[in-house]
């Protein structure tokens, strides 16, 4: 069997497994998850040995120390993976939820019921905890998973999936519920992306380059997570203390994540009072602030922010600041330059808040809170599958529900169409 046939076989097996998983009971799925957690802990030595080999090879191949750190397993990281699975076991099962049910005049009863997507393909980069996490979330939501990890974690991912499949089989579920593409050939991804007969959705987890490459080549729908160019607009009536707290949090707490603020817009009426105090606060925290001309009149020490700055996701302690004349200008600026992920207004003006919330076309729009809350856990979903920048199917933070679709169940007693 050549590589293409091997990948196709993974698809076939996954589809068959997904039929069983779709009707598996919640206790069965939970047992598989808790068994998997136990198994990961029991197999600690095996996992560490496999991981050691990957790390040694990574060193030889000149991986950066950051990449090596992300790749490295430790007993506590293995325990965290196991705990993650136990937490997923405790989450409510989304499958079977009746979304709506109604009766038609002809007596037909139509129910819209949540069902799994089917087969989910996950393509991800080095961090090996994604293996257990993604497989666990898919299992809980009744989906079969085909995992394709980075080649630098080849042995580690193999050992993790061995532990997971043993648990799945132990719980009486099909072995092919969780499968790994066991090839470091780059072609394997291309073949996987053509299995639209068997794979229902692809979720790439990694940088923008990976996502673009996957989207371009995929015959299967892709749930994308592109960049986050997030804004905060400090309105004329903002409580400036709240504004400073919110903006500081949005920029500084974790600058390398997608929901961190990249552009700060300030209404001209409060620009002087707000920025003269807040820019030094940012600078003290190590933030490089770049300003428009009007910002630089208030803080002349700043670098100039140019057109490119407004469209750059820094993922770093850098912030671009612009003074605007009005709410209208702020809304137009955000809808033009933003990435549609998370944007906030700080304002005490009721009508302005209302307009901002309605008119900003982003997955998550905030009034008087930090954009950093765009996160499945912070939303109360109990888990995070990712944060979608798609408009179709799932938008914003994705929990278990977003790994499902629905079907209609129609019950009658002999109805025919006139």
Residues that bind its own copies (CB under 8 A): 19, 22-23, 102, 104, 108, 110, 115, 117-118, 200-201, 216, 219, 221, 239, 242, 245-246, 248-250, 253, 335, 353, 357-359, 361-370, 372-373, 378-380, 390-393, 395-397, 405-417
CB 129, CB 51: distance < 8 Å: no
The least distance separating its own copies from the CB of residue 156, rounded to whole angstroms, comes to: 31
- Closest approach of its own copies to the CB of residue 365, in Å: 5
Cα–Cα separations (whole angstroms), residue 266 to 278, 308, 318: 11, 19, 17
Q: How far is the CB of 102 from its own copies (least distance, A)?
A: 7
* Cβ atoms < 10 Å from Cβ of 350: 10
Work out how close the CB of 212 gets to its own copies at its nearest, in angstroms, rounded to a whole number: 11
Closest approach, Cβ 418 to its own copies, in A, equals: 8
Nearer to its own copies, 73 or 138 (CB): 138
User: Residues 263, 264, 269, 273: is their CA dihedral positive or negative?
Assistant: negative
Contact 328, 355 (CB under 8 A): no
**Residue 294: its H or E element:** helix 293-298
How far is it, in rounded angstroms, from Cα 272 to Cα 188?
A: 57
Give least dist CB 171 to its own copies, A: 20
- Alpha-carbon distance of 166 to 183, in angstroms, equals 20
DSSP single-letter state for residue 217? H
**Nearest approach, Cβ of 342 to its own copies (angstroms)?**
9
- Give whichever of 49 and 390 is closer to its own copies, judged by the CB atom: 390
| Nearest to its own copies of 43, 364 (CB atom) | 364
First-to-last C-alpha distance (Å) of the chain: 53
For residue 14, which of 142, 140, 167 has the smallest C-alpha distance?
Answer: 142
Which residue number, 79 or 359, has a Cβ lying nearer to its own copies?
A: 359
Q: Which is nearer to its own copies, 58 or 255 (CB)?
A: 255
Measured from the CB atom, the residue of 303 and 357 that comes closer to its own copies is 357
Q: What is the DSSP letter of 222?
A: B
d(CA 127, CA 64): 14
> With respect to its own copies, which residue has the nearer C-beta, 184 or 253?
253
């Amino acid at each position: 069997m050549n590589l293409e046939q091997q990948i196709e076989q993974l698809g076939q097996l996954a589809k068959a497994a997904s039929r069983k998983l779709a009707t598996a009971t919640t206790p069965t799925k939970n047992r598989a998850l808790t068994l998997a957690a136990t198994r990961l802990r029991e197999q600690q030595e095996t996992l560490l040995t496999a991981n050691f080999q990957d790390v040694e090879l990574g060193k030889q191949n000149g991986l950066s120390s950051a990449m090596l750190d992300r790749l490295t397993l430790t007993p506590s990281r293995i325990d965290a993976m196991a705990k993650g699975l136990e937490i997923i076991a405790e989450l409510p099962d989304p499958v079977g939820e009746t979304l709506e049910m109604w009766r038609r005049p002809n007596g037909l009863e139509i129910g819209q019921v949540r069902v799994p997507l089917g087969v989910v393909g996950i393509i991800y980069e080095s961090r090996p905890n994604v293996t257990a996490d993604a497989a666990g979330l898919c299992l809980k939501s009744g989906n079969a998973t085909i995992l394709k990890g980075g080649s630098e974690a080849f042995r580690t991912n193999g050992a993790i999936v061995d532990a997971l499949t043993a648990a799945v089989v132990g719980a009486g579920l099909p072995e092919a519920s969780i499968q790994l593409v066991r090839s470091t050939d780059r072609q394997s991804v291309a073949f996987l992306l053509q299995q639209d007969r068997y794979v229902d959705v692809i979720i790439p987890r990694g940088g923008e380059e990976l996502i673009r490459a996957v989207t371009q080549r995929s015959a299967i729908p892709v749930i994308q997570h592109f960049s986050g160019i997030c804004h905060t607009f400090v309105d004329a009536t903002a409580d400036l203390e709240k504004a400073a707290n919110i903006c500081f949090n949005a920029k500084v707490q974790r600058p390398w994540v997608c929901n961190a603020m990249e552009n700060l817009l300030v209404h001209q009426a409060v620009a002087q009072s707000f920025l003269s105090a807040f820019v030094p606060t940012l600078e003290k925290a190590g933030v490089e602030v770049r300003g428009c001309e009007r910002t630089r009149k208030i803080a002349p020490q700043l670098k100039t922010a140019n057109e490119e700055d407004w469209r750059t996701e820094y993922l770093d302690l850098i912030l671009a600041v612009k003074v605007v004349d009005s709410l209208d200008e702020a809304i137009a600026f955000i809808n033009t330059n933003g990435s549609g992920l998370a944007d906030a207004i700080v304002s005490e003006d009721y009508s302005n808040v209302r307009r901002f919330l309605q008119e900003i076309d982003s997955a998550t729009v905030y009034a008087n809170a930090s954009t950093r809350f765009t996160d499945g856990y912070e939303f109360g979903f109990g888990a995070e599958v990712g944060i979608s920048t798609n408009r179709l199917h799932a938008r914003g933070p994705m929990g278990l529900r977003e790994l499902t679709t629905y079907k209609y169940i129609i019950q009658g007693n002999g109805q025919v169409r006139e």
